[in-house]
Structure 1
Amino acid sequence: MSSENTAIRPFTIDIAQTDLDDLRTRLTRTRWIDDAPGTGWERGVPTAYLRELTAYWAEKFDWRAIESRLNAQPQFTTVVDDQRLHFLHVRSTRQDATPLLLVHGWPGTAADFLDLIGPLADPAAHGDPEAPAFHLVIPTLPGHGFSGPVTETGWHDGKVAGALAELMARLGYDRYGVHGGDHGAFVAPRLAREHADHVLGVHVNALVTFPTGDPADMAALTDAERRRLAAMKDFQDNGSAYMQLAGSRPHTLAQLLVDSPVAQLAWIVEKYREWTDATHELPEQAIDLDQILTTVTIYWLTDTARSVADYYYERFHDRTMFAPKPKGTVPTGVAVFTTADFAIRAFAEKAHNITHWSEFYSGGHFPALEVPDLLVGDIREFFATLEH
């Protein structure tokens, strides 16, 4: 590969005003459905609620403010396997800082981790000078946001993990930690399994675990774990249609999302509502509305609906995904939150070297956005236990 392709280049987000004007025009010309009488969230996003969000997006959401906040962080791009890879790279001033890769999921972008950057990279400035510090590498997954669209097929979790390992090598990090949730909870363990000599530890939330088939494991489940297992079955029965559609017919879905920003909004905000802490009635009570719209807007402006959906297709059709594997050897920490988090320790220990396990009673599928202080604390606690 030529040095031209392996170069790391500074990157600044600069969306053309014509693209923002087009977005606003499309929002104002939306064709709305009438909800069936007496229905609510059980059939999807209610039209009245979606109209309110759309009006806010068109009239009050300030993309330029978001753009400035993102551009305040050091951003770069490089090319891996002929695919542009966008990332934030924030080095700590601490000499003992640990390199840490933060991997987002769907719906999500590198912007999910903005509130973690200060406390993790500069703990002294955030009230905890004794806490461990980290050099942070925060990529946008290939095919998502400013790392997309992908131009070739085959970008499954294994290839993504390999690209992130190559990124860390280019940055000069031979040993590093990895944190991930959602997609990141698939990518991080895979990266550790396939590049174990370079990964000192893996920390995940939203880890997917499956029953082992061992009657002793089932008999030993706690009441909380039985509830998680039942919630996982309910998700498979009633909440996984989005994944089945993306995993089987991604381009049909993508055509809807790429042509209508309100379709993209509905598709994403439904998940923020279903997967955030269930004590909240509406997603913006758990996550700032501007943050929700940041994710939607980035996906819209980068024209990545197709490759975001394709990522599920690639996972569903990756023969190595669920093939039997030896137990992972890299130390692994798991944080379990309250909603859409089905991890069970006995099952996890069959596949991973679990050395740290935390269970929280607030926060949901998006802890970096919902309860960043809890996530920061757990990341610090886990990596403090490891030999560097």
Structure 2
Amino acid sequence: MPNHAQSLTRRAVLAGGAVIGALSVLPPPVAKAGGSDEEIRPFKFKASKEQLDDLRRRIKATRFPEREVVDDNSQGVQSTTIQKLAKYWAEEYDWRNVEARLNALPQFTTKIDGVDIHFIHVKAAHQGALPIIVTHGWPGSVIEQMKIVKPLTDPAADGGSASDAFDVVIPSMPGYGFSGKPTEKGWDPVRIAKAWIELMKRLGYTKYVAQGGDWGDAVTEQMALIAPPELLAIHVSMPATVPENIAVALRPGGKKPEGLSPDESHAFDQLADFYAHGLGYAIEMANRPQTLVGIADSPIGLAAWMIDHDIRSYELIARVFDGGIEGLSRDDILDNVTLYWLTNTAVSSARLYWENKLAFFQPKNVKIPVAVSVFPDEIYAAPQSWTEKAYVKLIHFNKLPRGGHFAAWEQPKVFCDEMRTSFRSLRA
């Protein structure tokens, strides 16, 4: 985060599928005789009937607060939205649908630095595919990326060229989803980046690219700073580009600089609004994550906490539960919340905010090639002028007409097109 956010917290905090079918999935490396920490183990998940019955019981037993005293969302998640979500979750939603799609994908776990790391790994049916590791953020999971697996691994089936195929690796961050929960301090974005480098090495990849948004951006940029020779380039959808003078102006009492271009002025206004109204969840998780017992005990408390991530994402979700047709469906949203519930990762995922020491939006001096896609409803739409200064080897920059914070989830076709274009020049 820019220093404005640092003044609010003792940690720098975040400013914020389909079944594969006929795809050729090669087996993972063979484990050493007798097993070892480097063993790669197949993984599937099935929630018990008791877990799902308990979830519905808790939803139906929710004690809702009184209605907000305003006619907008300025007090947070609105009563009508959360009650519609609760009704659908308890009466119509079926976890087994997404569970089946997840289990149709090749999933694995392997222990890295003492923590079991879960990941999806799908190899393309085409020779010469470019490996890519894609990292989610909070409140995300591998469910965010399920829609992009088939288009990236089999682009010909998506109207693209086989020469643009990727081998896709999608890990769950430590403390998230099906990965293990750290039992010691120190699992920050730098340590996760090192684990991802080890994971790609363990999978046998001698060259690859990486992509991330939200915390995935922080992890991916740290991979780029470590710069293993195998990592050819990165792509980020929530880039760290905010210049120092803008960061200073965003601090309490700061004044908007004069002479900004229209794109720079718009980005400044987005950031100023987020710092003024959108940081509540991040401040609490950065300071006192273990206090959030309520979201580990109440599924509706968890859902409300998760959907109030940033205002444009929340407004999209509210429209969905009002019956709107958006990039996300009601099932999409509840698939992700239910995963957090079933894995009891509400608090373990929150601790990443406590661990983080990075200034999130300020440039990190990445030296390897970088591609950037700017989605208009992101926390801030990075201007090209800031981006070119932040990344000295910018190989792709594009402003998209639609999409927000959860780009791969909301706009999978656009996202996949961006991946193909971004990395095409790097292919052998």
TM-score clears 0.5: yes
- Which protein has greater RCO, CA pairs closer than 8 Å, 6+ apart? 2
Q: Distance in 2 between matches of 1:302 and 1:36?
A: 31
User: Deviation at 1:220?
Assistant: 6.6
Alignment correspondent of 2:14: none
- Residues 335, 360 of structure 1: 8 Å contact kept: yes
Whole-Å Cα distance in 1 between the matches of residues 364 and 263 of structure 2? 28
Matches within 5 A, 1:10-49: 10-49=42-81
Task: Give runs of aligned pairs for residues 199-278 of structure 1, distance below 5 A.
Answer: 199-213=231-245, 221-253=260-292, 255-271=293-309, 274-276=311-313
Deviation at 1:149, TM superposition (A): 2.5
| Alpha carbons of structure 1 residues 169 and 3: separation in structure 2 relative to 1, 3 Å | farther
Deviation at 1:118, TM superposition (A): 1.1
TM-score (norm 1): 0.92
1:102 aligns with 2:134: yes
Partner of 1:312: 353
Q: Say whether residues 1:125 and 2:157 are aligned partners.
A: yes
Alpha-carbon distance, 1:107 to partner: 1.5
Contact 1:26 1:261 in 2 (8 A): yes
Q: Which amino acid aligns with 1:127?
A: G
Q: Deviations over 1:182-228 (max 9, x none)?
A: 1111111111110341211101101232223399xx77742022111
CA RMSD of aligned residues (A): 2.4
Distance in 2 (alpha carbons) for counterparts of 1:325 and 1:114: 30
Q: Secondary structure at the match of 2:37?
A: helix
Aligned pair partner of 2:167 in 131, 135, 152: 135
1:298 and 2:339 matched? yes
Paired amino acid for 1:182: D
Q: Indicate which of 377, 384, 388 corresponds to 2:424.
A: 384
> What TM-score does the superposition give when structure 2 sets the normalisation length?
0.84
Q: State the SS of the aligned residue for 2:74.
A: helix
Amino acid across the alignment from 1:372? P
1-side partners of 2:407 and 2:290: how far apart?
30
Please identify which structure carries the higher helix content: 1
CA separation in 1, counterparts of 2:364 and 2:145? 32
How many Å separate the matches in 2 of 1:128 and 1:323?
Answer: 33
Mapped to 1, the partners of 2:103 and 2:286 lie a distance apart of 33
Gaps of 5+ in 2: 1-31, 249-256
> What SS is found at the alignment partner of 2:211?
strand
Match of 2:222 in 1: 190
Matched AA of 2:339 = I
Q: Residue 396 of structure 2 aligns with which residue? A: 356
Question: 1:387: Cα distance to partner?
Answer: 5.0
1:374 aligned onto 2:414: yes
- Mapped pair 1:168 → 2:213: no
Does the aligned pair in 2 maintain the 1:116–1:376 contact within 8 Å?
yes
Q: Which structure 1 residue ranges, 5 or more long, are not aligned?
A: none
Give the direction of change, closer, same or farther, for the CA distance of 1:325–1:122 in structure 2 (3 Å limit): closer
